[in-house]
Structures are given as C-alpha cells and as structure tokens.
Structure 1
Amino acid sequence: MSPELRGRVLVIGARTASEALLSRLAESGFECAMAEDVDGVPPLVVSLQPEVILLAAATKRAAEMLEGLRNIEQLRHVPVLADVSRSRSSSEAVKKLEVDGFIRGTEEMVPRLEAVLRAGRLRESEERTRLRMGMLLEITQATTSSLELEEMLRIAVDKVGRVTGSDRCSVVLVDGAEAPIGTVVATQEDPSLVRLEIEIARYPELRRALETRQPVHIERAENDPIMAEVRPNILPLGVHSILVQPLVCQDELLGALFLRHSRVGTTFGRDEQEFAQAVAGVLANSIRNARLHHALKRKREDLELAYVERYKELSDANRRLKELNRLKDEIIAVCSHDLRAPLQVLLGHGRLLLEGSVTVEQKQSIEAMIRQGRKILGLVESLLEKGKGEAARLAIEPRKLDVAQLCRESTSELNILAGEKGVVVRAEASESLMLIGDEVKLHEVLQNLITNAIHHAKAAGTVVVRALRLTRPDGDAVKITVQDDGAGIPQDELHLVFDRYRHGPKGTGLGLAICKEFVELHGGEIWAESPPEGGCTFVFTLPMAQDALKKKPQEKQEQQQPRVLVVEDEAEIAAVLAEVLRSRYRVDVARDGQEGVAKARNMRPDLVVMDVFLPKLDGLEATVALKSSTDTAHIPIILLSAHQGVAEKVRALNLGAVDYMSKPFNAMELLNRTERALKSPTPEPRGELPSPPPAPVMLRTGNDPGTNLYDKRTLLAKLEVEVSKSRRYHRPLSVAVLRPERPLADMPRGAGDVMRKRLRTLDAVAHMGSGVLTLMLPECNVESARSVIQRLLPELQAASGISFQHAIADVSQDSDAVDRILDRLGAPVQG
C-alpha cells in the first residue's frame, strides 16, 4: 500500500543527482517531478501544480535558476528550498541565495519539506478565509442597499462563484416546497438568463433540498444515487460535483442557491459549504424583505386607487346632494310665493268681511276661517324656517308683540285637539304684556308646551296657560306657565326633561329641547315644576320691553336715554342688535369700521358695540383709532366676534375695549353687559391730551425708523387680525419672506421704493432685520403671490445689487401660529 500523499514537489537540478533525490521523496510519500533547468519547468507546472520547489544544484547555478523561476507567473508565490548538503561553496555564498529555507542533510529533508508545506497551506487557508469574509461583507452591503432585487442577486452569484471556483452559480426562487415551477432570477453562467422558468422535477438534487429544507451535497454526480434518474443527461455535460443550499427565512421557503463543479477531482469542501450557508442566510433575508416591500407597495397602490375611487364616489354624492339641496330651495321658494300670497289674500278678504255688517253666526264662521288661515300661514312659515336649516334656529327676527295675545291665540288653536281628548284648555292673561321677540319661535314654544300638557292631562282634565308680569330689579319680565293635572314628573327627573337625547317611554322627544333653545335665545329661562296638588307645570320667563310712556313723556325720555352706536356689517345681526338695544337706549347703526369711527367722532355716543371683523377697517383697528383720539378715548367699547379664543379676548381688552362677547349672543346678556359698560368709570373728554390706554397693541404706528416700514411686532399684530378676517370670509392670505444671499446690516438699498411702487395699498411690508423682508398679501393665494414675487425680484435685485431667496405660504389655510409660520419661512421673529 503506497504511503499517503504528503505534497507535490518540483525538483530542479542535474539528472544524476536528482534521480536519487526523487526516489527518496517518492518513498516518503511525495508526488514529484524533475527538470534539469528552468526551460523544462512550464510544462511541469501545468501537470504537477507544485506546492514547493527543491533546488538540487550548485550554488552559482542555483542562483541563476532561482531568478528564472521568479519570472514564471504561476511560481511567484511557491516556496523554494535549496539542497546544500553536497555543496562545496562557502557559507557566505549560500546565504546570499534568496530562498525560503536550506536542507543541509539527508535526515532533515522530509521534516523541512513538511514544515514548508504546512506553512503554505496555512497561508492559503487564511487567504481563502479572508477572501470569503470580504465577499460575504460585500454581498451583505449589496443586499442592504437600494438596488433592485435582480441586480443585487446578480452581484451575489458573481461573488459566490469567484470564491468557490464553481462554473455555475444560480439563485432559484419558488412559492413553497410544493411549487412545480421555479424561476432562475440570477445566474453566473449567463447573466442574461433571468426570469427563466424551470421544472423542479427535472432537478432531483434541487427537489430534495426544497423538500427537506436541508443542504444537498453531491460529491460525485456520476455515482451518487440521488442523480441516478438524470445521470444519462448530465454525464455528457461533465457535471461532477453539486451543492444546493435552500433559502429559508423565518420558516418561509423562498428558493435555493445552486452551485456546480464540472472539473474532475474538484468538490465543495467544508469551507465552501459553510460559506454557501452564510450567503444563503443573507440572501433569504433580503429576498423576504424585498417581497414584503413589494407586497406593501402593491397594497398602498391598491389603497390609493380605492381612495381615488371613493373620492370620486363622494364627489358624485356631494354633487347629487347639492342638486337635491337646490331642488329643496326651489320647493321652498314655490311654497313661499305660491302659498303665502293666496293665504294673505284670503286673510285680507276675511278681515274685510268682519268689518262689514254680518250676523253673529257669520262672524263666528269668518273668525274661524281667519284663525285657520293664520294657522296654515304659520305652518308655511314653519316649513320655510326648517328649510333654512340649523342656522335659522339660532337666529331671531324680533319685533314688538303682545305675549298675552299670543297665549290666547295658541290656546284657541289647540281647542280642537283638546276637545278630541276631552281636555279643557283655557288661557288666563288679563293685561297686555309687550316684549321684543320672534313671534314664530315663541308661538312654537307655546304650541309644544300646550300640546305636551294636553297629552299628559287626565281624561276630562284641564290645562291652564297663565301669563303675568314679573317685577325684577333688572327690569320687568313676563312669566308664562303651562299647567296640567296629569301624573306629573318625579322630582329626580325634572332636570332631565329638556335633554335633547332623552327618549323612551318617559322621554319627551326634541320638542322641549327646542323650547329651551328658543327661550334662551330670547334671553329667558325655562324649567319644570311638580306642584303639591299634582300634575306638572312648565314655566318660562322673557324680558319685557321698556314702557316709556308710563314714566315720562317720550321726548324727555329719549333725551335722557344713553346713545349706543352699533357697528356691524351683516344687516340681519345689526337689526337684531338694534331691536334688542332699542328697548332701553337710543341706537344708531354703522355698516363698516370707517363709518363707525366717523359716526363716533360726530355723534359722541355713550357706548359703541362693534364687530371685530368689518370691511374697510376692522374692529380692532377702529378701537385703536377711537382710543387714540382725544374726543373719543372716553367712549366705552364692547367688541363682538364669532371667534371663541381666549387670546382674541385678551387682545381686545388690551386695546382698550371694556368687554368682549362671543356670537351668537344672548339678548338679556347683551343688555346686562351694556348696562355694566355704561356704568363703568371712564375719563371725561378734556382740552389736553388724555393719558393713553394701558399697553395698547399699535397696529398702524409701529414702524422701522430707518425704513418707515412695519417692524416685527407691528407686522405680527397686523397678521393676526388679517388671518382671523381671511378665515371668517374664506379669503386667501399669503405671506412671503425675502432673504438676501448674505446678511445685511440694514434695509436693502432702494427696497422701500420698489415695494411702494409695485405693491397694493392693502399689502404690508416689514423689515425683520438683517435685510430680511416679509410681505403680507391679503386676498392673494400662493400662485398669485408667486407671480407678484417673480415680478418684484428683478427690480429689487437691480435696485439693491443683491440676490434674494424667497418662500411663500398661505396662512389662511395653515393651523400654525403666525410666528411659527414666519420662522418656518425663514424670517427672524424673535427680538
């Protein structure tokens, strides 16, 4: 039995000396070949592939051979040993040989060769390990980059093939172990073969790896039993060794990494198998992430498509809803014109008949016809009221009316309903009780309460409606009670009867909740009581109109009544304010801020009630104008606004207003606050200048002394007012910030002239410092503002010699505070 092969040695030297050396090495287990000189080495390099070279020549000739060997590319890194056991050269000459070691005796030849071989193999192993780690790192970096999946896999198979020395390296993806078809997404053999579908059944080694989820190593395909069924097909191809590593991530089978050697004598060692396993783990994780990303992207696209389709459906539904709303408005208009006009004619002729000579029976019939006609007219008015929606319920159309008469009419209208139930309804109102209110809404309140009382009264019971005067320190009021003799309401449920969401056997529906809204809208109160004698009583109070005739002559009273100036641009709200205040004061009305300031200076009213959002000059600016003038600084001002913010209230009071009320307002609360404002101490007008109001926020006078433009503080105050106004009237408001290419110590040269020349009078410009300009453009959206800035920048650059960067935002649509918006656009707002 031949000894185990220890290594491959190439011996170079004289044949007579080398043959004995070859024989000795062969007996020691080395595979050897011999060449007498360097010319005979190249053929032996290909056939032997030596691991070490042994020079068995004289020292002088060995130096020449060594130089020739180093010129052969394949042998540059092969270690060289010199056999100097028979050399007669001096030790100095031997030492000059640039070899890896010397053999000075026969006994040390084998140990020296083995030591050199072990060192060389260790270096090769370390080099291969370093190469594998470097390639694994590059593959990992490729899989974590933004490359597409196929490009990333192509890089991976190329690097794996270079490390393992395989002639085929491919990645096959499948949809599970049972999938009959696999897809080759990357291959080293032919990079153009991508998305190639293969039948898994035709590759038994691949099928085995996918089924077992374990690596399959075919060391010799020509005699391995796994390859028996396909051996006739693979032998002509020269397939020798195969390695299949399944790609599994989180128990999900994704595919396999396929490696093949075709050279005889080559196989996949343990190092190559471990490397392939590590690469498979990286690839499996990357493939799974790519699939998840693709699925997520597809889901997002599906959701976006569904959103677009849903948006179209909602748009169509909204369009149809608008059409139906328009149709409703047309129907209401028809009712308004085609029903009210004939009813007014019938009622007019009925009144003419009553004025003529008719019998008692005819008079009763005519009165019944008139009552029923009024009832139908009330129903038409109610229909029109409901058609206006929620906004109509929160608005009143006040006029002077007699509540006692209204109680008697409501009772008379419901006599028929009461008669059907055997209930007697009577009204007790001995005197005329005048107040200012909405007749339709108060009529609905009475009808709801009386109908509710009839429903709960005993059979053959009684419902009593009483109206009487209630004397109070803050002014007389009307007290109206509707009492029935039914089962009543438990004490612990009295506070719940006006709950809008209370339903069921004991519920009262929406009627009482609507009654509460309408009564409070008139400045009154409503509640329920359970009297000791049984039944239930609903009570509500309403403030009465001032009866000036009972106290003093009209002319003298009007002279003593305070004068109130109402400044309101919406005609309906102005009418309500005037009617409510006219019960106690003389009232004048102005339609905008400029008219309000002019009337206040001419008329010198005792009080100004002014809306914040007004055309031409808003309420805050008008307040500053009045408080800055010597002849109007003493006039107290009450500001009104639909804005509920506390900050807005604080700003209004800081400007010098004595009070601030939110819309919609309560009539009684308005009268109480008006009375309190008139009684508050205010300085009388004098000849000298009065002391200014405490810490006002100046809206017009704050400017930059160097430029005569707005400063930062003034612009912020101005912007807050304009933002509120734009949101109320649904108008755009844009802000643009112009920042110079480098910070400046002062205002850009000529910028003020350019701004005044190109901007409108309602636009505002502020120098924020360091050359930064901020432009406020009311009633201008972002696109229009961008056009303005594009026209402005060339002239500004020509005048100042500096380039500017700009940023624009529509602040009417932005929920952030103004200072944060400016900061985001690049304007310095601090300091």
Structure 2
Amino acid sequence: KEDIDKIFDRFYQVDDNRLNTVAAPSTGIGLSVVKGILELHHGSVSVESKPAYGSIFIVSLKKGNSHFSPNEIMKASHEQNEFIKEEESAAVKNGQIFKNVMITEIDTFPQTPAETSSEPTGTEEKSTILIVEDNKELLQILQDILNPIYNVLPAHDGAEGLDLTRRYKPDLVISDIIMPNISGTEMCMMIKNDFETCHIPVILLTALSSTEHNIYGLQHGADDYISKPFNEKALITRCNNLIRNRLIIKNKFSHNIDFDAQSISNNPIDQKFLDTINRIIEENFDNPAFNINILAKELNISRSSLYSKFEALTGMTPNDYVIQRKLKNAADLLKNNPDLNISEISDTLGFGSPRYFSRCFKKQFNVSPAEYRKNQFIQPST
C-alpha cells in the first residue's frame, strides 16, 4: 500500500524483497509511460490494491474527440484507418495476441521459366502448403493470408497434420508448436524421419521466441522458425524462398546430373537414398535387363514410392535419370576411348542394341554417336 502513490513515478521500483513472487528485472518506467500516454489523451490511470489478493489497474478515457483541441487532433490517413481495422481482428491464444496486420501488396516472387520448367505438373498449378494450427481464429488468418498464392490444406492438431502430410505430400508445412495430441516439434521430427516425407520443408510458428527454443526446433529438423506475432510479408517471403529453392535445385539437377547428394538435400535419409540409387545404376550399367522395377526392388521400396520420391527431390523420373546417366557415360567413352566402337559402347552401357543407343544419344546431344566422336577430335584452325 505504501507504494501506491509512487508506482507511477519514473524509475520508481517496488522492493522485491517484500514480495512473495519472483519478479522479472524492472526499469521502473513502464507505468510512468502508460500514465503519460493516457494524460496526452485526457485520460487517467489509477490502481486499487489489496494485500494477498492483488492489484486492479483502472484506465479511464473519454468518448469521442470533443475534449481535444484542434491542434491535438491528427487526421488519420486512409492507410492508417485500414491498419486500425485490421488491428481490431486479433486472435487470442494462451494469453498471446496474434495481430492480423494485412499488407496491401504481396510479393509473390514470380518464378522465371528456368526455375519452374522442371515442375512436372506445369507452372500454372499452385504449390500446396499444409497449415497445422489448433487455434481456429489463427488458422483462418493464416489461410486468408496464403490462399491467394498457394493451395492451402488446414489441419487442427499435430496428429491430423502428420496424417495429411503423409497422404498429400505438400510442398511446405507450417505448424504451431504447442498443440494437443502431437506437438509441432514432435510432428516435425516424425516428418523428417519418414522416408516418404523427409524432403518436405517445415516452418515452425510459435510464441516461444527465445534463442533456445529456436535452436531446439531447428535441431529437430525444422527448416525455418517464425515467432508470433508474425509479419505477413515475412511469412510469405519465407514460404516463397523455401519452395523456390526446391525448384531451383530441381532445375539445376535437370541440366547437370553430376550432383552431390548433399546439394540436393540436407536430410541424411534423402542423401543415402540418392547415393544408393547411383551405386545401383553404376553396378548395372552393362545389364540390358535393368529397369525401374529392379531398381525399386534393390531399394526395397515400391515402384510408386520410387517415382514420387525421386521426382520430389530432382524433378526427373527415375527412367529419365537412368538414361541420362548412361548417355553421359557414353559421351565420356566416345571422347576418351577411341578404340571402342559404337556397338561395344552400346553393349557396355546395356542399351540392348546399337540402333536404340544411337536414337537415345541423338535425342540427348542432337548428333549421332559417330558425329559426336568426330567433333571431339577436330582441331581448331589456326
């Protein structure tokens, strides 16, 4: 009680030794700032306190603006009025305010043809984002933000989010952390440890903004971390970046199959998958009976799983990749082994017949194997 008349004074601090609770460090200016702002608006703040019960702060403000002088009234711009309207649509969850501060222009970072040409479904289709959020109001806000740009799938908890991820294989998952049944962190870890889904990027969205929580989420496989309340433009930009990075990697791979598995994915499961595929193909270069069914059997997965996983990582079908690997080796043999004739190279790489080999080679390099070899040894004129 003896502090009541002083707590609104700047830099005044209550003696924490007389309190039964552990208080956070204080600067003693918060209530002074509140009082100053209210007085500028011709309002007031007071406090009623009762030992063992707590304190009640009462803020009083007059309605309308007749009590302001002309010099005290600042006319709000159209943009400010729109901002205020959006500020009023706040969602409350676990004591946190998630403000829906809409932006008038959204940067969607249109992809160049080079970046999207590797998409098997074509550039006209939107990418798919799964949003996992147990707060209905915030889930709706996120859907409203992302729906103009992406196909959006909603999930209401971690268990449903995991099920939808496995069923639909979205291009990106955005998930809250604190949820019933399965937390966002647990769901992320399950996604990243599942062969079928570990390539899918995950953004964790949380009110826990400490560095320790960020590191914890990233250690469990999250690709990015966004703190609440979030900025719409930052959220959209991060979504765009993660999805576009995957498209760029696919495009580069389709133009250069000499890849390092680590450049395709940073997930150990994906890296092992790609390295194993390369090893199996190399071991079967001279086997004309080698096909995708054999490759899937060697990998101990179904043919459909092989196709969907490989295309998700590289943008290519496994069939096209096997042919391109063989043709690249054929080009090296034509250049570096002049003693091998076309038939021998065809047999070495398991093409079945020289005619089929020549047809595939010309389709890839626009010249026949013989012309390619001849061009490699033509000396430039001086």
Output the TM-score relative to the length of structure 1: 0.19
Compare CA radii of gyration and give the structure with the larger one. 1
Question: Which of the two has greater strand per residue?
Answer: 1
RCO higher in 1 or 2 (8 Å CA, sep ≥ 6)?
Answer: 2
